[in-house]
Structure 1
Amino acid sequence: MSRNSARNVFIAILSLFTIGATLSIGAARAEDVSEDQILRALTPEKKPLTRSLSMGAPAQTDPVATEAEGKFVQSLRNRPTRSLSTGEREQIATIVKDKPRIDLEINFDYNSDRISARSLPSVQALGRALANPELKGSTFIVAGHTDATGSDTYNQDLSERRADSIKRYLVEKSGIPAADLVTVGYGKTKLKDPANPLAEVNRRVQVVNTENKATASK
């Protein structure tokens, strides 16, 4: 083999190794999420006391609306996922818009609510985060989402079963009180990437901290 040929083979092998290493790192970043990342995402920001420019008084939230929201969240605790009406699911979606949340790309076995082995570390990290003193006692929304493959009815059922599966794991394996986890399924109605309805990012579980500790388990 000539010197140039040997050099070309070496370069080709090195390039394949580099590409393989890059793909491995990318996959790890896509799959793995740490307890600390989840904790930071779900911890409410400490909002500074601000003053109204017009009145000079501290800006305040509507206490009536806050109380109504708290009562609604309380009414969801211990509710079966399938018992939620379309209106209640939409009300939950409205409430969580301004709450600390994180989207987890948790994979399940095909056409199943069984958590895949490669996603277990992320679910375990979620369990540790929710048990952290910073978050413990809050009421969390666990929302299941699918991509656009299949019918509305099929995806709604699948998203509910998968949200229930995450809750069941967190209760049984991480010791999170069942009443602190409110599960809801949205099927394919709230795609994360509407421009690519079949994209993997749409198949996710969203966890939201409602910041409601008044009704938390003791």
Structure 2
Amino acid sequence: MNAFGDNFEQPPTEADPAAEFLAREQNALAGLEDEIPPVAPATAGLAGTNGSLDGDPVPKAESTGFDNDLNGSFEMINNADAHEPSTTTADYNLNTVPKQVTEEPEKIRKWREDQKARLEEKDREEERKKDELREQARKELEDWYKHHDEAISKTKAANRNAEKQFVAETDEIEPGTEWERIAKLCDFNPKTNKSSKDISRMRSIILQLKQNPIQSTKKI
């Protein structure tokens, strides 16, 4: 306090909200710069490849915390896109993979083998029976030809003997014995064959003529 009693004290200064906000943001961005790796090599490579139109290198711009934040974000997005699998390639690979053939069950496989064996045995048995039938038919045919030849030989011999006897009796023909000779050539034993015709009337007429021959009359 001075002698005059005037005490001029400085009033307390109020804190600026905008300045405090900027300070907080700068601190936050500074923390992000430490966590996110810099992208300077990619930028340098790009500048070295393209360059300016005059052939001079592109001047390097001063990097700020905000730029680093943006660059880091884009790098993370690009890396995520690069590692994203291709759906089309995966589908193509799935389509080109051949389907695995399922193995046949043991019971079905054994049944097929047994069925095949049974069919083969059945075929062999059928062939054996066919051979037996062929052999039996051949023997029966040979026997039939043998009996047929014997019957023909006997019939021929009987016909020759009958012919000789008929010729011998022809020289001794007497009048009135014609029907008797005819009756000798006929077979009067009845036959039971269904396919034969009924000749009973013819036999009865011949027998009547044999017993009562017709008297022949001579004209002068």
* TM-score between the two structures when normalised by the length of structure 2: 0.21
| Higher helix residue share | 2
Task: Report 1 or 2 for greater relative contact order, CA contacts < 8 Å, sequence distance ≥ 6.
Answer: 1
| Higher strand residue share | 1
Max Rg structure: 2
* TM-score between the two structures when normalised by the length of structure 1: 0.21
